[in-house]
Amino acid sequence: MVECWLPYGDTEVHISIPLRDLVGVVEPKIGEVIRDVETAVREAAENPINCEALSEMAEASSISIGVDGSLPTEIAISAISGLLGVIEERRGLEDVSIIIGFGLRRGVQRLLKLFRESLPREVEIRGHTAQSETEELGKTRRGTTVKVSKHLQEGEVRILIGEFHPDPLAGFKGPHTAILPQLSGFETIEADRRLYHQGSTDLGVVDDNPILRDSWETLKLAGVDASLLLVTDHGGGVIDILYGEAEAVWSEALAEYRDLYSVEVEPADIYILSPGGGRFDFDLYHSLWALKALGKPKRGDRIILVAECGEGLGAQGLLKLAGVEKLGELKRRYMLGGDVLHLLRSLQRAADILLVSTLPTHLAEPLGLEVYRAANDAFEAAGGGRALILPYALSITPRWG
């Protein structure tokens, strides 16, 4: 037997696979990780791409820094500290505010407390969720009403801290996903997610991606002056740091690091996957997007999704539309949650999906998901066959062999 470990919330779960049945373990390549993120951020901010250095921008009367709250918390704190160090040297920390964008996530008080305990007290630190106060800025060409954090918009200078990493909807994350969904209102997020049905949205897909384009338009309407972009690996380590004009830093990261996440995925009978741990699997809505890594399974395949889901379903649409089986009806009756339910129903036409989770059974069963508390129990229930393990499904851009 081979003992394999998969990320699960803030810990790991193990699963035992007979050696003869293990096809392999799929993981992205690991780059060299930057050890002193704070110092590297300060250096990047003084060597910008297509914009002024931070020390020059710091002369503004007020500065608001919006942060993608899905970043690993320690990394985000180090990045913020690097920017604050430059600003403090230039003009002090008066009228500097930090807005941590948590998007659709609700259970954020513990995370927000960590930021407040780790950063200077004279800096105002706020959390933003989809229910927080917003300012309406207009509409995108695709009709999304843009409502962005009011507190971000109050700064004379606005800076974003984002992450370059695969994304199941926008293709790759960046400054644009720090704004949408993380720092946007619910109406804006829901309208943007509706575009899932109107083009190519997938891990690593950037061409003709309507969600990607919509989020960039949202960023432009927000009037962002500069962006700090952290290129991260599957474990949350920082590989590179870029600072400058938003599209310029993202384009450079795309050109340089796109292939870092590209991995070959071999066909199997049983796919065992984890979204990648706590910053990905906190609720079912976000966890189910990990299924994007599987492409189109063949009839009779079995999928075991290992995801803690400690914050529940994550989107009302998963509950309200649970009884809808027809894919066309899910599009017609769209609400947030119906997008990932469409993905789930598409896969269930060919494959059985088993969920290893703390999610209550009565919430999962209407979705056609069998719930297990132990990964080995789910593997036994799946029956025999060749098994492939994807422990970081939301950190890869798959190439099918």
- Token pair of 55 as six digits: 């020390």
Domain hosting residue 394, numbered range: 2-27+261-400
Last residue in a domain, options 211, 244, 277: 244
Query: Taking residues 48-76, what's their average pLDDT?
Result: 97
Give yes or no for a contact between 229 and 163, defined as CB atoms under 8 angstroms apart. Answer: yes
Classify residue 256: in a domain, yes or no.
no
Query: Taking residues 173-190, what's their average pLDDT?
Result: 98
| CATH for 184 | 3.40.50.11440
Report yes or no on whether pTM surpasses 0.85.
Answer: yes
Within 10 Å of residue 233's Cβ, how many Cβ atoms?
A: 21
Classify residue 67: in a domain, yes or no.
yes
CA nearest neighbour of 378 among 308, 304, 309: 304
Query: Taking residues 140-148, what's their average pLDDT?
Result: 97
pLDDT at position 228: 98
Residues 323-356 have pLDDT tens digits of 998 999 999 999 999 999 999 999 999 999 999 9
Last residue in a domain, options 187, 218, 244: 244
In this predicted structure, the answer to whether residue 384 has a pLDDT above a threshold of 90 is no
Which percentage of the chain shows pLDDT scores above 90?
A: 95
Pair (71, 115) in one structural domain? yes
Pair (159, 285) in one structural domain? no
Classify residue 249: in a domain, yes or no.
no
User: Look-up: residue for tokens 């066909």?
Assistant: 267
SS3 content of the chain, % helix, strand, coil (to 5): 35, 25, 35
| CATH for 369 | 3.90.226.30
Task: Indicate the average pLDDT of the chain.
Answer: 96
Pair (355, 216) in one structural domain? no
Classify residue 250: in a domain, yes or no.
no
Pair (86, 225) in one structural domain? yes
Query: What is the CA angle 329-192-279, rounded to 5?
Result: 100
Query: Taking residues 175-201, what's their average pLDDT?
Result: 95
Model confidence band, residue 29 (pLDDT cutoffs 50, 70, 90): confident
Query: Taking residues 308-328, what's their average pLDDT?
Result: 94
Classify residue 32: in a domain, yes or no.
no
Pair (160, 100) in one structural domain? yes
Pair (52, 21) in one structural domain? no
Pairing of strands 11-17, 2-8: antiparallel
Pair (144, 228) in one structural domain? yes
Classify residue 254: in a domain, yes or no.
no
Classify residue 252: in a domain, yes or no.
no
Pair (193, 338) in one structural domain? no
In this predicted structure, the answer to whether residue 30 has a pLDDT above a threshold of 90 is no
Classify residue 255: in a domain, yes or no.
no
Measured between alpha carbons, how far is 33 from 19 in angstroms, rounded to an integer? 32
Pair (85, 212) in one structural domain? yes
Last residue in a domain, options 216, 244, 272: 244
Tell me the residue type at 94: E
User: Look-up: residue for tokens 């990964």?
Assistant: 375
Residues 211-268 have pLDDT tens digits of 999 999 999 999 999 999 999 999 999 999 999 999 999 999 999 999 999 999 999 9
Total domains in the chain come to 2
Pair (208, 265) in one structural domain? no
Pair (66, 150) in one structural domain? yes
Query: What is the CA angle 101-103-105, rounded to 5?
Result: 110
Query: Taking residues 158-166, what's their average pLDDT?
Result: 98
Pair (208, 310) in one structural domain? no
